[in-house]
Amino acid sequence: MSPSTRVPEQGVTSTVPLQDVSSTVRRDQARRLLPWVLGLVTVLAALALQSQLYSGQERTVATIFMFVALAEAWNLIGGFAGYASFGQVVFFGVGGYFTAVAISHWHFSFWVSLLLSGVVAALFATLIGIPLLRLKGHYFAVATLGVAEGMREIVTNLPDLTGGGAGITVPTVGNNATTAYLGNDGFYLLFLALAALSVLVAGLVARNKFGYALRAINQDEDAAAAMGINTTRAKVLAFALSGFITGLVGASYAFQQVTIFPERLFDVDITVLMIIMVVIGGSGTVLGPLLGAVALQFLSEFLRQNFTDLHTFILGGIIVVAVILLPQGLVNYVHEARRTKEYSLLANVRRYRL
Amino acid sequence: MSAVPVLETRGLGRHFGGLQAVADVSVSVPEGQVLGVIGPNGAGKSTFINLVTGHIKPTEGQVLIDGKDLTGARPWAIAHARVARTFQIVKPFRGMSVRENVAIGILYGPQGTNVMSRALKAADEVLEEVGIADMGDRPPGELSVADARRLEFAKALALRPRLLLLDEVMAGLRHTEIEPSLELIRKLKARGVTIIVVEHVMKAILAVSDQVLVLHQGKILTSGDPREVLSDPRVIEAYLGHRYAKRREGDS
Amino acid sequence: MTAFLQATTYGLLQGGLLALVAVGFSLVWGVMNVVNLANGAFVILGAYIGWGMHQTFGLDPFLGMFVAAAVLFVIGYVMQRFLINLVVNGPIFITLLLTFGLDLLIVQGMNIAFSADYRGIKTSYASESLAIGSVRVPVGRLLAFALAIAITLILVAVVNRTRTGMSILATGMDRGAARLMGIRARHVYALTFGIAAALAGMAGVMIGTVGTFNPSAAAAFTLMSFVVAVLGGLGNMYGALVGGLVIGLVQAWGGQYLPGTWVNALAFLVLIVVLIARPTGLVGRAFYAARLEV
């Protein structure tokens, strides 16, 4: 016999048993906690994994973590807000070079440099974001690309500060070293932490009022503004946030590589990889960039080891196929397929076709 | 009822290069009035709305809302001044439910709340008002044209506006669908909301307007009592056409 | 003074070539809103075709460029018709990614087929130079410049006056309306892309005659296409001409008077400033006022 709630009106009783109401509430709570629990489990699994890997494998997995962090960060501005930054690597490079210069020239410790690199990258993002985020679509993409390429040239042409084309080396041993080199184990943990941070930030933004604002801006910026959203502030904030995380990653990369060069730290291919990972995984979702980064890095490593000569060629082919079959990415495809019961990939190809 | 007009424009104008889209438009809309705005395509009606709501910056003149000079203010500042609008081309926020679409206005509008659940509940109330309460969970792509228009209304009402600008909300609606929209406008007017209705559907203009403003080539042609304006020979010449005038003569 | 005139001459000559590289890219972007990241790859592919024709058949590159044009037209047409058309209605970065993937395929394909060795198409007359006053003008460069300008002007005439050209313009202005009038948009898009590829290929052959090239040079040409197209206004063919000349001059003067590679940084700064201040480009009005996509 289940107790039922009694509504204090004449002879009217609610027909919903009390038990059912509380189980619905509990189900909702469980559903909301699930992603956090899963995330925690994943991090713990990654920690456990470390002891099972050789140092070479450790570096590979650390690189996967690095790209997870980069992809999730790009997703904030490119996926949620819909402003496809094609120059995202500039924050990577700015962060990396700031750390390298701070440790070599100013003798900061790595950890201080790391934090400052993130801040500097975020400030830079704010600076360029204010004028550039007024541009739409392709124009924004091209302008950010211009900034990245321009920054690379500037760094190359300031050899006294940055070592120019010859690169700069972070002192990791001896008297000049301010922080002990982290080694494979240390960098594994560092990149794991950055990946976790990036996913965490993406998850918080997605569920939050801010995430709604970004998605509204993505869909119809005029309507979003008409509903009271300060679109300039929201966009710049998203850009700065993505810049901050990307800067942290760049700083860590610089320390890991010890010697860095402008062509590498400002390489447009890094931006493109970020974008492909987000697109393949599912732009605008939290899980998408994560899956995309893991999948693509695995693939890239596999190809690099087994088809060394052809691996870039095959990668290009895979990009073409993936973009055509799954333009909205895996996670979005699964969501929609479940909703509309339409699973055919061929039908999916018709989505965006002329 | 305050004496300060809810909306006042003084010599409002906007030119694009050589083209003067809106020129020297001065209106004064007292609180609670419904102002109909008519005119041929290209007369500057939508531009006028955009100038008031901050989506386009005026090159001449001023916009005063409740006596405050908000000329050139950005759209979100206008929204916070309790001014809401609908868009001619309806583009709801996809990737979110109908309820969430409306909730955005409650989260970011003049009330501004940070609590999602409260915003979603308030959104349901607004959906109830416009008559699509049962569509809350659906994606906006599944709505019919008439319901999509109601969602537009709901998004504007989420701001609890004092001034509401409706940009051709009747466009594309069947005759049976127009009456519920008119009902909604009347209900809002009864609540004291000041409304500016840009329309091509004369039946709607006559049904709800207290005053009518006629725009032609960016300038005000005439304004005044709806029936007088619609019988004005200049308006007939520029916009309504003689066949319409004859039809109305036959009706009256 | 001589150095300045020499640099200016060189800049203009190079600028003409850059204009031809970019004009197709600009047209495709303006008409179809597709940014072709493989444009540089088309240029280099054209260069290899011209080189191959010269090596195997002794075909003069200025004739070989028509072969390159034909081959690249087919490649471009097929690519647009059966690949890019599939994603044209999606968000921008989808098309960008697709063309990037295609660029990878083509560039790597060339690396595999031709190796990374630098090649050049040497003709007997190209290295001779005319002397105009104190300035040396290499014959090859002058010929390439003249042809590039001529081809661009022919393109403008074709697009503005022929029926085919008008269908391209119409589709660019209002795809829905164009389709309602019986214009087959899928075909028109493919045609436009094919033409753009052919032009890039021709430019490539000419570039092969005035210098050396290898697959890794493709990226620089794609980047230059961006800068020239934006500068000249998207879809604006005269603009691409002007933009090309401007960039050619900037590069030549910069190389002459600025240390290191500051000139590149300058070029990007110009790009960004133009995008912010006058996104419709330096030349003329906006190409298309409103776009209704159906």
- What are the residue boundaries of the structural domains of chain B, listed by start? 1-82+163-252, 90-160
- C218 pLDDT band, cuts 50/70/90, is very high
Q: For B112, which DSSP code?
A: -
Structure tokens at A45: 């699994």
Q: Which of residues 273-332 of A touch B (CB under 8 A)?
A: 284
pLDDT score at A19: 52
ipTM, two decimals, is 0.90
Distance of residue A132 Cα from the nearest chain C Cα, in angstroms: 7
Angular region, A101: left φ>0, alpha ψ -120 to 50, beta rest? alpha
Nearest CB to A227: which of B54, B74, B159?
Answer: B159
Asked if pLDDT for residue A10 goes beyond 80, the answer is no
Cβ B53 vs Cβ B159: under 8 Å: no
Q: B116–A213: do the CB atoms touch at under 8 Å?
A: no
B: neighbours with 3+ CB pairs under 8 Å?
A
Contact C272 A146 (CB under 8 A): yes
How big is chain B, counted in residues? 252
Residues of A in contact with C233 (CB under 8 A): none
- Chain A neighbors of B165, CB-CB under 8 A: none
For residue A212, give the chain B residue with the closest CA.
B104
For residue A105, the surrounding DSSP H or E stretch is none
The answer to whether A24 contacts chain B (CB < 8 Å) is no
pLDDT value for A17:
54
* Chain A: partners with 3+ C-beta pairs within 8 Å: B, C
Question: What's the 3-state SS for A47-74?
Answer: HHHHCCCCHHHHHHHHHHHHHHHHHHHH
Each domain of chain C, given as residue ranges in start order, spans 2-277
The Cα–Cα gap between C57 and A240 comes to 57
Q: Cβ–Cβ of A324/C86 closer than 8 Å?
A: yes
Per the document, the length of chain A is 354
Note whether B87 contacts A227, CB cutoff 8 Å. Answer: no
Q: Across residues C17-35, what is the average pLDDT?
A: 91
Average pLDDT over residues B89-114: 90
Give CA–CA dist A171/A178, Å, rounded. Answer: 8
B95 pLDDT above the threshold of 70: yes
- Cα separation of C227 and C220, whole Å? 11
Q: Which residues, other chains included, contact B67 with Cβ-Cβ below 8 Å and sequence gap of 6+?
A: B4, B5, B8
- pLDDT-derived band at B252 (thresholds 50, 70, 90) equals low
Number of CB atoms found within 10 A of residue C266's CB: 17
Contact state of C35 with A145 under an 8 Å Cβ cutoff? no
pLDDT band at A13 (very low <50, low <70, confident <90, very high): very low
Q: Which chain A residue shows the shortest CA-CA distance from B164?
A: A226
The better pLDDT of the pair B172, B101 is held by B101
- Scanning chain C, the segments in alpha helix (DSSP H) are 2-32, 39-57, 61-82, 92-114, 139-161, 163-173, 175-180, 185-210, 218-232, 237-257, 262-277
B1-82+163-252: what CATH class? alpha beta
Cα-to-chain-centroid distance, residue B6: 14
**Would you state the pLDDT for residue C50?**
94
Rounded distance between C-alpha atoms, residue B174 and residue B83, angstroms: 28
Angle at A248 between CA A244 and CA A253, to 5 degrees: 145
Angle between helical axes of C262-277 and A110-132 (0-180°, round to 10): 50
Q: What percent of chain B has pLDDT over 90?
A: 56
Chain B residues touching chain A at CB-CB below 8 Å: 53-55, 74-76, 78-80, 84-85, 87, 91-96, 100, 103-105, 107-110, 112, 114, 116, 155, 158-159
**Chain A residues inside the 8 Å CB shell of C92:** 84, 137-138, 141
User: What is the distance in angstroms between the Cα of B57 and the nearest Cα belonging to chain A?
Assistant: 14
pLDDT, tens digit (0-9, with 9 covering 90-100), for B104-157: 999 999 988 888 889 999 999 999 999 899 988 888 988 988 899 899 999 999
Best A205, A227, A231, A285 member to test B by mutation, with max B CBs in 10 Å, is A227
State yes or no: pLDDT of A203 exceeds 90.
Answer: yes
In whole angstroms, give the CA distance from residue C106 to residue A124: 35
Chain A residue with minimum CA distance to B116:
A209
Selected from 1.20.81, 3.30.1120, 1.10.3470, 3.30.870, the CATH number assigned to the domain covering C2-277 reads 1.10.3470
Residue B76 is nearest to which of A212, A230, A284, comparing CB atoms? A230
Residue A261 has pLDDT above 50, yes or no: yes
Among the residues of A208-310, which ranges form H helices?
Answer: 209-219, 221-226, 231-257, 262-265, 268-281, 287-306
With CA atoms as reference, report the closest residue to C69 among C169, C138, C155, C180: C155
How do residues C69-103 score in pLDDT, each as one tens digit?
Answer: 999 999 999 999 999 999 888 877 788 889 999 99
Min distance B203 CA to chain A CA atoms (Å)? 28
Please calculate the CA angle A116-A118-A119 and round it to the nearest 5 degrees. 65
Picking from B40, B35, B102, B11, the residue whose alpha carbon sits closest to that of residue B244 is: B40
Query: Quick one: pLDDT band at residue B71, thresholds 50, 70, 90?
Result: very high
